[in-house]
Amino acid sequence: MGIVSKGAKCDVAGCNNDGARSLNTKKVEGAGLNVSSSSKKTVLCKDHYKDWKKETKDDRALERARYDKF
């Protein structure tokens, strides 16, 4: 069982929604979200995960391009 399926709450400061995804804390902080967790993994609710995806869209596209074969 993962941390989200155990009923973890969102780790963003001021949010008490149920968690939907868990991500690396450094990646979440790099996107500008204020995280109240000091652990390796951060739990995000659906709304904050959507915000994280929007903020990191360009970075993730560049990362995928590195692995595309010609």
For the cut 90, the answer to whether the pLDDT of residue 51 exceeds it is yes
The domain tally of the chain equals 1
pLDDT of residue 45: 95
pLDDT at 70: 64
Radius of gyration from C-alpha coordinates of the chain: 13
Segment 2-48, tens digit of pLDDT:
888 888 999 999 999 999 999 999 999 999 999 987 889 999 999 99
Residues with Cβ within 8 Å of 38's Cβ and at least 6 positions away in sequence, in order, are 25
> Residue 67 has what pLDDT?
79
| CB 32 within 8 Å of CB 65 | no
pLDDT at 69 over 90: no
Residue 53 structural domain? 1-70
Q: CA nearest 28: which of 50, 4, 6, 7? A: 50
